[in-house]
Amino acid sequence: MAKLTPPINKNDHVQGPPDGIVTLVEYGDYQCPHCGAAFPIVKQIEKAFVKNLRFAFRHFPLSNVHQYAFPAAIAAEAAARQGKFWEMHDMIFEQQSLLNEYALLEFAKEVGLKIPAFKMDLRDPKLAEKVEADFESGVRSGVNGTPSFFINGDKHDGPFDYATLASAVEEKMRRVHVTR
Amino acid sequence: MLNKNEVAPDFELFATPDQKLSLHQLRGKNVILAFYPADWSPVCGDQMTLYNEMLNYFKKYNAELLGVSVDSKWCHAAFTRDRKLHFSLLADFHPKGEVAKKYGVYNEKEGQCERALFVINAEGNITWSYLSPIAVNPGADGIIEALEKIKQPQLVK
């Protein structure tokens, strides 16, 4: 089975309790409609398992088919520099149908970023490197499309509707309890 | 299906409507052969879309990616344009499936290629092969691992 490589580390954007016993990782593309559809489902999962689940998002932009996917990923990373990764992440998915380069600037204003710093960060090659590193880790982890989910490091094959994802998370929780 | 350490059978197939490509032309480079059932079908589409994003990574390993299906060169041309693919799709069209048969990945019943991957080294030997369930996009982790195992060829003086 495909394994998350590398595991969650300090470069990741993580939400939820740091000692959460289940970690859900999504490889996603901000312009991918399937990722847009998965967004509220992930929110629902986070809410349902609020005490036990950490969620991390890694970038997997398919730039040839989604021209704004890479700029959007960079924008989220630039927002992270101001401590607002998740605000930007949510905004992009919530307003996915409006996505373009101009909209990203509007989103940045909306989430309250300092715009001059944001604009400067967009041009920082380090952010592009971060996005590319996420992509490469996805390739190594066996990501075969977006969104791809990993639960405690194991690839989740199959649909990502709420019921399926939730039962996969529960299954992992049970297993952790057994081994502890 | 051909396996590791076997010689990769040579072939010559249309890569564009007016150009043929043969395997021996790529000697000195690693080659990734991705056989897939059909242009336009959902899983293949995703698989080729994915590989299209990875060409830079493949390049780092001195590797050239080639997709192969029994679709005609004109079908490939349309599919390539539609998906903005930046690698060659080869038409194993006439005689139908001849190359897939040589590699042992032709599905007689469906009349199409299986979903199969081969990594071929610079000397033309197969170093890794993988047969994927037809409905599963195999991703590229196996390809990358196989390429990592190939030692980069010594530069010839």
Task: Give the tens place of pLDDT for each residue, A71-81.
Answer: 999 999 999 99
Domain membership flag for residue A157: yes
> B83 to chain A, minimum CA–CA distance in Å?
7
- What is residue A91's predicted lDDT score, i.e. its pLDDT? 98
Measure Cα distances from B152 to A12, A175, B22, B122 in Å.
32, 42, 22, 9
Domain membership flag for residue A116: yes
Domain membership flag for residue A131: yes
* A48-62, A88-102, B42-56, B109-123: the lowest-pLDDT one: B42-56
DSSP string, A9-40: -TTSEEES-TT-SEEEEEEE-TT-HHHHHHHH
> B117 to chain A, minimum CA–CA distance in Å?
14
Q: Do B53 and A144 touch (CB under 8 A)?
A: no
- What is residue B153's predicted lDDT score, i.e. its pLDDT? 52
For residues A53 and A22, what is the distance between their CA atoms, to the nearest angstrom?
5
Is the Cβ–Cβ distance between B145 and B57 less than 8 Å?
A: no
**What total number of domains does chain A contain?**
1
Q: Do A62 and B49 touch (CB under 8 A)?
A: yes
Q: Which residue has the tokens 């060409």?
A: B55
Domain membership flag for residue A82: yes
User: If you average pLDDT over every residue of chain A, what do you get?
Assistant: 95
Say what the pTM is. Answer: 0.90
Interface of B with A (CB under 8 A): 46-47, 49-50, 52-54, 57, 83-86, 136-141, 144
Region B54-76: what's the mean pLDDT?
Answer: 96
Q: Do B83 and A64 touch (CB under 8 A)?
A: yes
- What is residue A158's predicted lDDT score, i.e. its pLDDT? 86
pLDDT surpasses 80 at A179: no
Chain A to chain B Cβ contacts (< 8 Å): 45
Interface ipTM above 0.90: no
> B130 to chain A, minimum CA–CA distance in Å?
14
From chain A residues 24-83, the ones with a CB under 8 A of any chain B CB are 61-65
pLDDT surpasses 50 at B154: no
Q: Which residue has the tokens 């530069």?
A: B155
Residue A153 at interface with chain B, using a CB cutoff of 8 Å: no
Model confidence pLDDT, tens digit, residues A25-50: 999 999 999 999 999 999 999 999 99
Domain membership flag for residue A10: no
- What is residue B157's predicted lDDT score, i.e. its pLDDT? 43
Domain membership flag for residue A115: yes
- Residue A129 sits in which domain range? 21-179
Region A153-179: what's the mean pLDDT?
Answer: 91
- What is residue B46's predicted lDDT score, i.e. its pLDDT? 82
Region A132-156: what's the mean pLDDT?
Answer: 95
Residue A139 at interface with chain B, using a CB cutoff of 8 Å: yes
Q: Do A62 and B53 touch (CB under 8 A)?
A: yes
pLDDT surpasses 90 at A171: yes
Domains of chain B: 26-149 (3.40.30.10)
Strand order in the sheet with B88-91: B19-22, B12-16, B88-91, B63-69, B30-35, B115-120, B126-132
For residues B53 and B49, what is the distance between their CA atoms, to the nearest angstrom?
7
Question: CATH number for the domain including A123?
Answer: 3.40.30.10
